[in-house]
């Protein structure tokens, strides 16, 4: 029993002497190593973006999406192990459908976030399961108030509401960039550009190809969570890449 966890990391039902559940820490590491995911809440909605790393050139563009709606008024962006993130999204869809069939109305943002947090937390309590190696950003339009909200759900079961957040590789730089934005005055249309810029600039050259995925839920999208329309997204990404090239050129001078 020697090594990193010295036997305290074999199960979530064992604490380490200093009170940690190593399995959860490892799960968070899996998240930190995955591609960047960021969320920006602005005056009229929420924008989610991910830097989807492409390990293989032959991958079909637009496949293996990391951002997806879970109901008409809610969507998620995953960071970390993609299959784990997909499982979380699938559960979120069930929660939404279930709430709708029971109460006949769309699930409120807080309840969805709570239930998903509980779900994730369950996987930190029993020896027979492992925590999810994924964290998700949740963007919702609360059906009662019509307000847009952004949550982060972590493998530990932690759930917090944010104005802006970034997870995964390069999150620190991305968070700094998000903090500089004037979120309260910014529209989603502007935020899409910022999100693209942050993803493009924080992208690590060492990683090979990547795809920038953008989705939003805002007044422009009719209060429904969906992909940012192709023309807007393409333009934002192209502008971000141009800006980056200009910067590089200036640096080289």
Partner 1 sequence: MIPTRVSHNPIIGPGVVPFGVDPAYDAQYKLNQAPRSHVASHGQGKPFTVEPGPHQRTQYPYVTGTTVLGCKYKDGVMIACDTLCCYGSTKRYKSVERIKKVNSSTIISFTGELSDFHYIVSLLEELDTTDYCEDDGSELAPWEIHSYLCRVMYNRRNKFDPLWNSLVVAGVKHGRTFLGTVGMIGQHYEDSHLAAGFGNHMARPLFREKHTDDMSEEDARKLMEDCLRACLMRDKTMMNKFQIAKVTAGGLEISEPFQVPMNWGYEKFKDPTKHAVGAW
- Of 213, 191, 236, the C-alpha closest to 43 is 191
Residue 64 sits in the site that holds partner 1 (CB under 8 A):
no
Of these, 96, 135, 181, 199, which contacts partner 1 (CB under 8 A)? 96
Which string of x and - marks every residue 128-157 that binds partner 1 (by CB under 8 A)? ------------------------------
Q: At what angle do helices 188-202 and 171-180 cross, to 10 degrees?
A: 150
Judging by DSSP bridges, how do beta strands 226-227 and 209-218 pair with one another? antiparallel
Contact region for partner 1 (CB under 8 A) — 41-49, 93-101, 163-171, 173-181? Answer: 93-101
Residue 213 sits in the site that holds partner 1 (CB under 8 A):
no
Phi-psi region of 179 (alpha: psi -120 to 50; beta: other; left: phi over 0): alpha
- Of 73, 75, 103, the C-alpha closest to 88 is 75
CA dihedral 231, 195, 74, 109 (to 10 degrees): -150
Contact region for partner 1 (CB under 8 A) — 1-9, 43-51, 64-72, 171-179? Answer: 64-72
Residue 93 sits in the site that holds partner 1 (CB under 8 A):
yes
Residue 172 sits in the site that holds partner 1 (CB under 8 A):
no
Residue 68 sits in the site that holds partner 1 (CB under 8 A):
yes
Of these, 14, 65, 190, 241, which contacts partner 1 (CB under 8 A)? 65
Least Cβ distance, residue 8 to partner 1 (angstroms): 25
Residue 13 sits in the site that holds partner 1 (CB under 8 A):
no
For partner 1, which is the closer residue by CB, 7 or 62?
A: 62
- Of 179, 195, 187, the C-alpha closest to 239 is 195
Residue 199 sits in the site that holds partner 1 (CB under 8 A):
no
How many residues of this chain bind partner 1 (CB under 8 A)? Answer: 20
Show the beta-strand stretches assigned E in the chain.
37-42, 45-54, 67-71, 74-80, 134-141, 148-153, 159-162, 164-167, 209-218, 226-227
Contact region for partner 1 (CB under 8 A) — 177-185, 191-199, 224-232, 237-245? Answer: 224-232
Least Cβ distance, residue 227 to partner 1 (angstroms): 6
Instruction: Look at the block and give the residue holding tokens 């932690």.
Output: 158
Q: Which two tokens stand for residue 95?
A: 């929660």
Least Cβ distance, residue 117 to partner 1 (angstroms): 14
Of these, 122, 127, 146, 246, which contacts partner 1 (CB under 8 A)? 122
Instruction: Look at the block and give the residue holding tokens 């800006």.
Output: 243
Q: Which residues contact 47 (CB under 8 A, 6 or more apart)?
A: 39, 40, 139, 188, 191, 192, 195, 214, 215, 216, 218, 228
Residue 63 sits in the site that holds partner 1 (CB under 8 A):
no
Residues that bind partner 1 (CB under 8 A): 65, 68-72, 91, 93-98, 100-101, 122, 215, 224, 226-227
């Amino acid at each position: 029993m020697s090594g990193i966890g010295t036997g305290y990391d074999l199960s979530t039902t064992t604490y380490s002497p200093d009170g940690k559940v190593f399995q959860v820490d490892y799960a968070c590491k899996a998240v930190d190593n995955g591609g960047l995911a960021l969320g920006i809440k602005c005056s009229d909605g929420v924008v989610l973006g991910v830097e989807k790393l492409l390990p293989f050139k032959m991958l079909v563009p637009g496949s293996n999406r990391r951002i997806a709606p879970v109901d008409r008024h809610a969507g998620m962006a995953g960071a970390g192990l993609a299959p784990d993130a997909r499982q979380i999204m699938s559960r979120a869809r069930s929660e939404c459908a279930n709430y709708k069939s029971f109460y006949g109305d769309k699930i409120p943002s807080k309840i969805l976030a709570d239930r998903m947090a509980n779900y994730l937390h369950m996987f930190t309590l029993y020896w027979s399961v492992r925590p999810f190696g994924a964290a998700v950003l949740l963007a919702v339009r609360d059906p009662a108030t019509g307000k847009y909200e952004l949550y982060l759900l972590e493998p530990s079961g932690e759930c917090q509401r944010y104005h802006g957040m970034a997870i995964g590789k390069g999150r620190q730089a991305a968070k700094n960039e998000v903090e500089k934005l004037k979120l309260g005055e910014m529209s989603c249309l502007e935020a899409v550009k910022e999100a693209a810029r942050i993803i493009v600039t924080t992208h690590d050259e060492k990683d090979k190809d990547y795809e920038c995925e953008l989705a939003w839920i805002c007044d422009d999208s009719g209060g429904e969570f969906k992909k940012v329309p192709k023309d807007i997204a393409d333009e934002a990404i192209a502008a971000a890449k141009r800006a980056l090239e200009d910067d590089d050129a200036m640096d080289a001078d």
